[in-house]
Amino acid sequence: MLEKRPFKVWSPEEHDTWRMLYERQCERVKKLASRAYYLEGFEKLRLTSDRIPDFYRLDEVYQREVGWELFSTDTQFADGQDWFEHLARKEFMITEYIRDKSDLDYTPLPDVWHDTFGHLPLMLNQRYAHLVYDFAHKMLKYSKEERKGMGSIWWYTIEFGLIREEGEIKILGAGLASSYGESVHALSGAVDLRPFDPDYIATIKPSPHEFHKELFILDSFEQFEDFVNHWDA
């Protein structure tokens, strides 16, 4: 179990990498991401292009708004036991690493850009944060082997999910929201967009190393909540 430790002091170079990422992605999410679940939180967070945010300030915001805490970590969680144990205690981990400027488009493991720009706006929505909490608790009831299918569903919703909103298909997934290339690619017509189908999704083994060829659309957030609530019923 991690102790809460001071948040990292980022270098000017790291802040500049953030600026490059932020400046090119900000307009994209405004056009493409879910208003109710991403953009409302995004606006409340008051992120700026000039620097990686002050996580002491954001930690207070999360404690006040949704009862979660932000933690700093130098472990790049991909998924797995530790990650879900933190989520099940309402602890959201922020990675003390930012991708290299020479490779802005891709990081195989989460970094501060993905954690912050991808996940944090969503986590400021109480319903969304609650669903993540419930999902994490359910994951922890099973062994790693047993939860593989659920891991795939997590991937295609929390990270790469789409949702219908006012007649349009919008980005819900943090992996899509934080990806310059894939946020546009996902809705370009080049991807097979299918209705959310947990039984099928559970059989897929997702790859973090290439754009997805198929993605899944939730009809509503209620559909996602219903699925998580009834998963082991």
**CB-nearer residue toward Fe ion: 8 or 119:** 119
**Which CB, 16 or 79, lies closer to Fe ion?**
79
Find the binding residues for Fe ion in span 174-233 (CB under 5 A).
Answer: 174
DSSP state of 33: B
CA dihedral 22, 67, 138, 85 (to 10 degrees): 70
Q: Which x/- pattern over 116-135 shows residues binding Fe ion (rule: CB under 5 A)?
A: --------------------
Q: Interacting stretch for Fe ion, rule CB under 5 A, among 23-31, 120-128, 138-146, 170-178?
A: 170-178
Query: What CA–CA distance (Å, rounded) separates 206 from 153?
Result: 10
Nearest residue to Fe ion, by Cβ distance, number only: 174
From the list 29-37, 66-74, 169-177, 219-227, the region that binds Fe ion by CB under 5 A is: 169-177
Nearest Cα neighbor of 184 from 32, 39, 37, 30 is 32
- Least distance to Fe ion, CB of residue 160, Å: 10
- What's the closest the beta carbon of residue 216 comes to Fe ion, in angstroms? 17
Instruction: Considering only the stretches 36-44, 93-101, 167-175, 214-222, report the one whose residues sit in contact with Fe ion under the rule CB under 5 A.
Output: 167-175
The type of residue at 232 is D
Nearer to Fe ion, 134 or 167 (CB): 134
Query: Judged by CB under 5 A, how many residues of this single chain contact Fe ion?
Result: 1
**Integer Cα distance of 137 and 99 in angstroms:** 30
State which residue, 162 or 174, has the beta carbon closest to Fe ion.
174
The residue among 91, 84, 98, 108 whose CA lies nearest residue 8 is 98
- Residue 115 to residues 16, 73, 109, 175, 186, Cα–Cα distance (Å): 17, 11, 10, 9, 20
CA distance 74 to 169: 35
Is the Cβ of residue 67 or residue 108 nearer to Fe ion in the bound state? 108
Site residues for Fe ion per CB under 5 A: 174
